[in-house]
Amino acid sequence: MKKYFGKFGGQFVPETLVMALQQLEHSYLTVGKSRKFRQELGRLLRTYAGRPTPLYLAKKLTARGGGAKIYLKREDLLHTGAHKINNAIGQALLAKMSGKRRLIAETGAGQHGVATATAAALLGMECDVYMGSVDIARQAPNVYRMELLGARVIEVASGSRTLKDAINEAMRDYTASFETTHYLIGSALGPHPYPAMVRDFQSVIGKEAKGQFAAAEGGVPDALVACVGGGSNAIGLFFPFLNEKVKMYGVEAGGDGNGHAARLTGKGKPGVLHGMKTYLLEDRHGQIADTHSVSAGLDYPAVGPQHSLFMEQGRVKYAEADDSEALSAFHLLSELEGIVPALESAHAVAFALKLARGMGRGKSIIVNLSGRGDKDVDHVRKIEGER
């Protein structure tokens, strides 16, 4: 497998982790490509996770846009409420079939921790999730959910006591335990082979959407739109369309309007973080910046390395939606279509509406609705109560 996407990606890790990553790559290329693995993964995605997800023509949203048809790829209907389960089950099954008995993960908002704990319960594996104490306090319901699923949540009280520190602890654990343990990374990022492996597990989204669109309309859509946190739901939708004449748009979180989590459209620069070379946000002192967005899932200072390459090549265009645009889209989709989207996905919906207007009738867009908004209802109610 290639370690780089152009000049991005790579394996910027201590010597002690290189062996673990080599072993993982080997498992992925052997076990992960075997017929037995693919059949079992397909079965679990169908019978447990709820695939295939529908491709839904949102007629009222389309009418509101007044231009291109807007289709929604309904990843929000999956078990645990988002696309994250595609990758969690993929990696957990790979680990189990490669002889591992324990999963570790790190989580900020808790969504990836819940997906990992779910996959561990499904496959009968031990599960430890690292989480900063600040995040533990903020995300109490998800902490309980993970424990309910049989996982152990390990508090990280060092540094800024958030996701960054939890990642460091998870890497330390993995270095010492990789003979029995798999480190389940939640987005298309980190050292090689994670970005490619996670992309492949999420590509089920684009493969399904391609077939469903061809059946509904014939041909391929004119544009694809997805939100970009680490970039896994976006690359999962885009990847199977890369060789088609389709425009692609990744939507970053503009935060309160000052481009706070916009790495590709904002002030990001190439650098090295969490084992990869990619675009990331630094502060004036060259430290990793504190990002901010209304949606926790888009609030990461770096982006998956293949997105950095797509941006430089111009293959994918990156845009921003800010907090208030996302909140408007959150309401609009709920009222018009009866679908409460995750705040992350609401960023994609907000951008798609503008795009649809500009494209005009006779064209079509697929928007990846990466998750459902139940987790965000309380948060939105509170911030709107404050206003």
Ligand X SMILES: *Cc1c(COP(=O)(O)O)cnc(C)c1O
Tell me how crowded residue 336 is: count the other CB atoms within 10 A of its CB.
Answer: 15
Answer for which of 10, 132, 229, 266 binds ligand X (CB under 6 A) is: 229
- DSSP symbol at 152: E
Which of residues 206 and 297 has its CB atom nearest to ligand X in the complex? 297
Which of residues 225 and 227 has its CB atom nearest to ligand X in the complex? 227
Q: What are the backbone dihedrals phi and psi of residue 103, each rounded to the nearest 5 degrees, phi first?
A: -115, 140
CB of 345 to ligand X, least distance (A): 6
- Catalytic residue check, 164: no
What is the rounded CA–CA span in Å between residue 76 and residue 108?
20
CB of 195 to ligand X, least distance (A): 11
Please identify which of the residues 106, 169, 208, 337 carries the catalytic annotation: 106
- The residues near 356 (Cβ < 8 Å, ≥ 6 apart) are 62, 65, 66, 67, 68, 69, 70, 363, 365
Answer for which of 61, 167, 228, 302 binds ligand X (CB under 6 A) is: 228
Cβ-contact 216, 367 below 8 angstroms: no
Please identify which of the residues 84, 164, 210, 375 carries the catalytic annotation: 84
CB of 318 to ligand X, least distance (A): 12
Quick one: which segment of 64-72, 231-239, 260-268, 313-321 binds ligand X (CB under 6 A)? Answer: 231-239
First-residue to last-residue Cα distance in the chain: 51
What is the rounded CA–CA span in Å between residue 88 and residue 186?
7
Answer for which of 11, 86, 111, 142 binds ligand X (CB under 6 A) is: 111
Rg for the chain, CA atoms, rounded: 19
Answer for which of 53, 118, 345, 364 binds ligand X (CB under 6 A) is: 345
Does 233 sit near ligand X (CB under 6 A)?
A: yes
- Catalytic residue check, 370: yes
- Catalytic residue check, 244: no
193: cis peptide before it, omega within 30°?
Answer: yes
CB of 99 to ligand X, least distance (A): 28
Does 84 sit near ligand X (CB under 6 A)?
A: yes
Give residue 382's Cα distance to chain centre: 25
Footprint on this chain of ligand X (rule: CB under 6 A): 82, 84, 111, 187, 227-234, 297-298, 342, 344-345, 370-371
Active site residues: 84, 106, 370
